[in-house]
Chains A and B, each alone.
Chain A
Amino acid sequence: MGKTGCWASLAIAAILTGCGRSGPNSESVRTPAVNSGSTTPPISDRAEVVTKSGVEMVYLPAGEFIMGSDKGNPDEAPPHRVRLSAFLIDKYEVTHAMFSKAQLPNPSHWRDNPKKPVERVRWRDAKQYCNERSLLEGLRACYNEKTADLDCDYAANGYRLPTEAEWEYACRAGAEEPYDFGPAEKLRQHGWFADNGDQKTHLVGEKKPNRWGLFDLYGNVSEWCEDVYSPTYYRESPPVDPQGPPNPGKDVKRVMRGGSWKASADMCRASFRLGERTGDTDACFYTDYCGFRCVRRARPEELSELQKIR
C-alpha cells in the first residue's frame, strides 16, 4: 500500500491548535455568501493517525467549502457554503482485512486479496461494521442497533459513516473543480473507474491520493454516506454540519459517493450524487460496487490519545 509520507513533520499539537477555531459547537455561525469562495483550511492542517485497532485515518480540520455544483446534474445544485466540524476519516476504503477484524459476514464478490475493498455491503451492514469497530476500540457506538435505521448518535465518539457533506469536503480537499487534481484526463492516475477498472475492484491505495492524502475517493468502490438521498436537499440544507433530510419512511435511498470501478468519469466527480436502495429486504445484495469508509468526530482530547503516524 503506497504511502505518500508527506506532512510527517506535523505534530498533534498543531492539530489541536487548529481544530477548535471554526468548529460549530464553539461559536455561532453565520451563513457566508456562496460567491465568497472556499475557505477550507490549508492542506498542512491535516494529520495522519493510527487508531487502536490499527486503522490509518486522516484528521481533517474544521472548515468551510462550497458543496455541490451548478455545472453538474440538477441534484447537485445549488452550490452552497457548508461549515463542518473537524473529523477523522479512513485513509482507505474499508478492506477485507479490516472487515474481518469486526467478525462480520463478508458479502464481497472479489475476495482474492485482503487489501481489496469490501463490496456488496448493504448500508446497514456498513453501519454494523462501524459499531463493531467502535467496540473493538472501546469507543461508544454511534448507532442504536435497536432502531430500524440504526439511528446515529453524532455525539458519540465511535465510528460512523460520513455525512454527504463530510464526504465531499474530504474529496474536494479545498478544490472547487470537479476533481481536486485538475482535469478529468488525469483521473486514471487517481482512481479505478470504467475506463481502467477492468471490470473489478482493485487493491486500495494503488492510485495517487487526493490532496488531503486520502486514497480511492475517486472510483474503486462507491461509498455509502449516512444521509437519506433527496435530489432537492441542497435547496434547504442547513449551513453547518448538515446531516441530510429526514427519513421519508418509504422507498428510502441513501447517498453513495465517489463512483466505482464500473462508473464513468463523470460519476467520479466530487459533487456527483447517487441515491441507492439500502438492500435491507434483499437477502442477496448483488451491487458489487457498494463499499464505504468510516469517520469519527475529532475532539482535541480524543486526538491526543491517538498514535501519530511516523
Chain B
Amino acid sequence: MTLRNGLLTLLNLLSSTRFSSVCLATVLFATTAAASDAGASFREQLSRLPFKIAFESYINDNWEIFVMDADGSNPVNLTQTPKEHEHYPQVSPDGTRICFLEDEGEGRDTIRSLYVMDADGQHRKKLVDHAREPFWCPDGKAIGFLPQEYPKFNVLDYYTTGMSFYELSTGKIEPHPNSTNLHHLYNPCFAPNGKWIVATVHAGMGVSHGMMLIEAHGDKIINLKIPGCRPCFSPDGKQIAWGPGDHEIAAAPINLDSDEPLVGERRVRIQDATNKIYHVDWSPDSRFLCLSRGPNGKGDLSKPGTFQSACEIVGVHAAGWNLCAVSAERDGILDLLHATEADFTMLTTNGFSNKESAWLWPNRKQENKQ
C-alpha cells in the first residue's frame, strides 16, 4: 500500500466515524509529519521539532530547572540559584511561562512554594507558600495547585488536602468547588477541553489508591479504575498516559467530552524491567512522550535540599536518572532494555537526577497567529 493510498484509506475510515474535523486535521498533520520523517533517525526527528523540554536536575548540590531542545541538545539552566532549590516545572499552554516549586529551609521546617517565571527564566515571582504540584488551566489564566496537608513539611507526594487556583491577573486564590472533598491527591493535570482534572489519590477520598477524574467546575468525581499513578492528558485531548507501575508507561484513548469518560485499552506500553520509568509528558503535537528513567533508590541525604523516600518523588535525589523520548505513535510494547536508537533517544546522560519533564513550544503564540 502506498503512502497516498494509506492516507486515503485512513481518511475514508475517519469520515465514516464521529471524529470531528479538528480531529481529522490533527491526524492528517501527524500522519503527514510522520511520513516526512521517514528515513530520518529518531533523534533527527526530534531535532527538527520546534519544541523544547523543561526539566529539573540536581547539579552542584542544588536543584535547578533546565530547558533543552527536543533532541536533548543545548541545555540551559534557567534558574541558576545556588542556594534555592527549584523543581517540578510546568509549562503554560501558550508556552510563554513556567510555574515551578521552590523549597526553602531544611527538614520539617522546609517551606515549599509555588513560583512562576517567563520561559526564559526572567521575571520570577513567588505566588503561594505551602503549595504542591501545580498545573496550568487550559486558558493559561490561572495555575491550579494542591495545598499542603499541614504546615510542617513532609516530602511524600500525597501530602495534600483540597485544590486551589491562583488567578494570575488578580493574585486571588479560589478553592475548587469540591475542594473539601479532595484529599491526598497528587500529580494533577487539566484536560485540554477544560472539563476535567485528573490526579492520583493515595489513602484518601474513600479509596486506597486510584486515579480520579475530577470535574473542573463541579462536584463529580469518577474513579478511572486503572492501576498506577501520574496521569497526563495529550494536548489533543484524546489520550491519557500514565505509569501503571514502576516499570511501565502506558497510553490509551479517552473521550474527555463524555460525561462519563472511560479509559480504553492500552495502546502504547513502554517497559523497562530494570529501571524505574516515571513522569510521562506529551509533546505539544501529541506525537512524542518524554519520560524519566533510572535505577531504584531512596535518595541521598548527604545532598543539600533533598529528602529520603522513593526516588521518583519531587525533592528526592534520583541518582543516575535521565530523560528519554519515545514515539507515541507506535502501538504495542516498547522494551527500553532491548530498544535501539531508532525507537527511543536518551535526552540526558549525566544522571544528575533529571526528572519531571515538561514540553515547551516556545513560539506557539506567534505560530498560532500566523
CA distance A14 to B202 in the complex (A): 48
* Contact A145 B156, beta carbon cutoff 8 Å: no
CB of A6 within 8 Å of the partner chain: no
A114 in the interface, Cβ–Cβ < 8 Å?
A: no
Instruction: Report whether B202 and A284 are in contact in the complex, using a CB–CB cutoff of 8 Å.
Output: yes
> Could you say which residues of chain B place their CB within 8 Å of the CB of A41?
none
Residue of A nearest to B313 (CB): A283
Docked-complex contact B298 and A280, CB < 8 angstroms: yes
**Contact mask for chain A residues 94-108; partner B; CB cutoff 8 A; 1 contact, 0 none:** 000000000111111
Residues of A within 8 A of B107 (CB): 145
Measured CB to CB, the closest approach of chain A to B246, in angstroms, equals 8
Given A105-B154, A109-B203, A145-B107, A282 contacting B149 (CB threshold 8 A):
no
Contact A103 B296 (CB under 8 A): no
Q: Does A147 contact B (CB under 8 A)?
A: yes
Nearest chain B residue, comparing its CB with the CB of A135: B108
The answer to the question of B19 belonging to the interface, with a C-beta cut-off of 8 Å to chain A, is no
How many positions in chain B have a CB within 8 Å of any CB in the partner chain?
27
In Å, the complex CA distance between A282 and B150 comes to 22
Contacts of A288 in B (CB 8 A): 208
Q: Is the CB of A281 within 8 A of B154?
A: no
Q: Which of B26-34, B216-224, B303-311, B331-339 contacts A (4 or more CB under 8 A)?
A: B303-311
Whether A103 pairs with B311 at a CB distance below 8 angstroms is no
What per-residue 1/0 map shows which CB atoms of B222-233 lie under 8 Å from chain A?
A: 000000010000
Smallest Cβ distance from B350 to chain A, in angstroms?
Answer: 22
Task: Tell yes or no: B152 within 8 A of A by CB.
Answer: yes
Residue numbers in B under 8 Å from A148 (CB-CB): 298, 301, 308
Q: What 0/1 readout, one digit per residue, does chain B (291-322) give for beta carbons within 8 Å of chain A?
A: 00000111001000000111111000000000
Q: Report the tally of A-B residue pairs with Cβ distances under 8 A.
A: 54
Chain B residues with CB under 8 Å of A280's CB are 298, 308-310
Task: Say which residue of B152, B158, B308 sits within 8 Å of A124 (CB atoms).
Answer: B308
**Could you say which residues of chain A place their CB within 8 Å of the CB of B154?**
104-105
Closest to B186 in A: A283
Query: Of residues 133 to 177 in A, which have CB atoms within 8 Å of B's CB atoms?
Result: 145-148
User: What residue of chain B has the Cβ atom nearest to residue A106's Cβ?
Assistant: B203
B364 adjacent to chain A (CB < 8 Å): no
Q: Is the CB of A297 closer than 8 A to any CB of chain B?
A: no
Residues facing A in B325-351 (CB within 8 A) are none
Interfacial residues of chain B within 145-204, with CB under 8 A of chain A in the complex? 149-152, 154, 156-159, 184, 202-203
| Interface residue A269 (Cβ < 8 Å from any Cβ of B) | no
* Contact between chains at B203 and A111 (CB < 8 Å): yes
Which B residue's beta carbon lies closest to that of A100? B150
Chain A nearest Cβ from B356, distance in angstroms: 14
Enumerate chain B residues within 8 angstroms of A106, measured Cβ to Cβ.
Answer: 203
Residues of B within 8 A of A104 (CB): 150, 154
Cβ < 8 Å to B, chain A residues 74-126: 103-109, 111, 120, 124
**Is B156 touching A282 in the complex (CB atoms < 8 A)?**
no
The complex places the Cα of A103 from the Cα of B150 at a distance, in Å, of 6
Q: Which of B158, B209, B301 contacts A105 (CB 8 A)?
A: B158
Are B149 and A105 in contact, CB atoms less than 8 angstroms apart?
A: yes
Tell whether A105 pairs with B184 under 8 Å between CB atoms, given A280-B298, A284-B209. yes
In the bound complex, residues from chain B placing their C-beta under 8 Å from that of A146 are 301
Chain B residue numbers with a CB within 8 Å of A111 are 203
A124-B308, A281-B311 as given contacts; A147 in contact with B301, CB under 8 Å: yes
Task: Report B197 CB to chain A, min CB distance, Å.
Answer: 21
Q: In the assembled complex, how far is the CB of residue B283 from the closest CB belonging to chain A, in whole angstroms?
A: 26
Contacts A105-B156, A107-B203, A120-B203 known; A283 to B310 CB distance under 8 Å?
yes
Which partner residue on chain B sits nearest A280 by CB separation?
B298
Contact with A along B86-121 (1 / 0, CB 8 A): 000000000000000000000110000000000000
Measured CA separation A147–B108 after assembly (Å):
15
Cα separation A171 to B89 with both chains bound (whole Å): 51
CB <8 Å contact, B310 and A281 = yes
- Is the Cβ of B203 less than 8 Å from the Cβ of A283? no
- Chain B residues with Cβ under 8 A from A282's Cβ? 310
Cα separation A282 to B312 with both chains bound (whole Å): 9
- Chain B contacts for A124, CB-based, 8 A: 308
* Closest-CB distance, B275 to chain A (whole angstroms): 13
Given the complex of chains A and B, what is the CA–CA distance between A284 and B309 in angstroms? 11
Q: Judging by beta carbons under 8 Å apart, are B202 and A107 in contact? A: yes
Q: Which residues of A contact B311 (CB under 8 A)?
A: 281
Q: Are B229 and A284 in contact (CB under 8 A)?
A: yes
Contact of A283 among B108, B152, B157 (CB under 8 A): B157
**B-contact bits for A257-283, CB 8 A (1 contact / 0 none):** 000000000000000000000001111
Knowing that A107-B202, A109-B203 are A-B contacts, what are 6 other residue pairs whose CB atoms are under 8 Å apart, sorted by A's residue number?
A: A105-B158, A280-B308, A281-B310, A281-B311, A283-B313, A288-B208
Shortest beta-carbon contacts, A-B, top 5: A103-B150, A283-B310, A280-B298, A105-B159, A109-B208
A-B contact pairs, 24 of them (CB 8 A): A103-B149, A103-B152, A104-B150, A105-B149, A105-B156, A105-B159, A107-B203, A108-B203, A109-B203, A120-B203, A124-B308, A132-B108, A145-B108, A148-B298, A280-B308, A280-B310, A281-B297, A281-B298, A281-B310, A283-B156, A283-B309, A283-B310, A284-B229, A286-B208
